[in-house]
Amino acid sequence: ETLVLGRAYLGAALMSADLKSNDRISLRFDCTGPIKGLITEANAFGEVRGYLKQVPIPIDKPMESFDLAPFFGAGFLFVTKYLEDAKQPFTGQVRLKYGNIAKDLANYYLTSEQVPTAFNLSIKFDKEGQVTGSGGLFLQAMPQADDDLTASLEERVTSLPSLGEVFSEDKDPQTLVEDVFKDYSPRFLANYRMEFMCHCNRARVRSLLTLLPIDELRDIRNHGPFPLEMNCHYCSTPYYFTREDIGEIYGQRFPNN
């Protein structure tokens, strides 16, 4: 689960680099494989969150590699941008072509936005299965970029060794970029912090309860169990509601029933 969601976190975090103010971006994978799907989102403040649709992911035998294609199967990738100055969100979608988050994100940009793109997303684990390092690179061609130069850079990014392993050894990201792209005279424009953050709260979870059908809400009111426990999909924070809470929600939603 950490490998799958971790790579998606890295992808969403990198794709948030050009967001501004209260903008945010969401990645949704819907698939037929054991993973079933996942959602991650990131915002302009460097905050990332997400969740898997299937936990735990069923595995028939120990993994022999980090190839996740069999776990994705067929499906679609949806990329939604919530821009503050836009009247409504914009969503683009592509079929999952590789079952590889990095390659499928690159394919999204090439197919949906006609922009040559390369990703390298990597996570390093120790023998106990604990994460010791993670890292990602997101390369995108600028307008009028030379095709040969773009192809050369794409190959350089995708052929890199495990970035997770590199960063597990405490290598500085700027030093890595300088070493890998020294022939291309890289310039460093900005530096942002990224972290997991979920802004869920009890009021938001309560609002979800108000959307339940009348029969389902009535059944909960009458039969419980209480306290009713609701967990955030993203961070698993539990929120509890008493019989009185549910009765109040029911009365506000259906005052004549």
CB distance 168 to 132 below 8 Å: yes
The pLDDT tens digits of the residues spanning 67-101 come to 899 999 999 999 999 999 888 999 999 999 999 99
CB distance 217 to 253 below 8 Å: yes
Q: Beta strands 131-140 and 37-43: pairing type?
A: unpaired
The stretch 53-64 carries a mean pLDDT of 86
Q: How far apart are CA 70 and CA 27, in angstroms?
A: 20
CB distance 28 to 39 below 8 Å: yes
Q: Is 45 exposed, middle or buried (0-12, 13-18, 19+ CB in 10 A)?
A: middle
Q: How far apart are CA 214 and CA 114, in angstroms?
A: 47
All CATH 3.90.1280.10 domain ranges of the chain, comma separated, are 202-253
Residue indicated by tokens 């009765």: 247
All CATH 3.55.30.10 domain ranges of the chain, comma separated, are 2-196
For residue 70, the 8-state DSSP code is H
Q: Is 116 exposed, middle or buried (0-12, 13-18, 19+ CB in 10 A)?
A: middle
Say what the pLDDT of residue 190 is.
86
Q: What is the mean pLDDT of the chain?
A: 93
- Whether domain 202-253 has CATH 3.20.20.80: no
What is the rounded radius of gyration, in angstroms, for the C-alpha atoms of the chain?
22
Predicted TM-score (pTM) of this structure = 0.88
Residue 256 has pLDDT above 80, yes or no: no
Confidence of residue 59 (pLDDT cuts 50, 70, 90): confident
Residue 59 Ramachandran class (φ > 0 left, ψ -120 to 50 alpha, else beta): beta
For residue 181, the 8-state DSSP code is T
User: Domain 2-196 adopts which CATH fold?
Assistant: Hsp33 domain (3.55.30)
Confidence of residue 241 (pLDDT cuts 50, 70, 90): very high
Q: How far apart are CA 224 and CA 238, in angstroms?
A: 16
The pLDDT tens digits of the residues spanning 196-221 come to 999 999 999 999 999 999 999 999 99
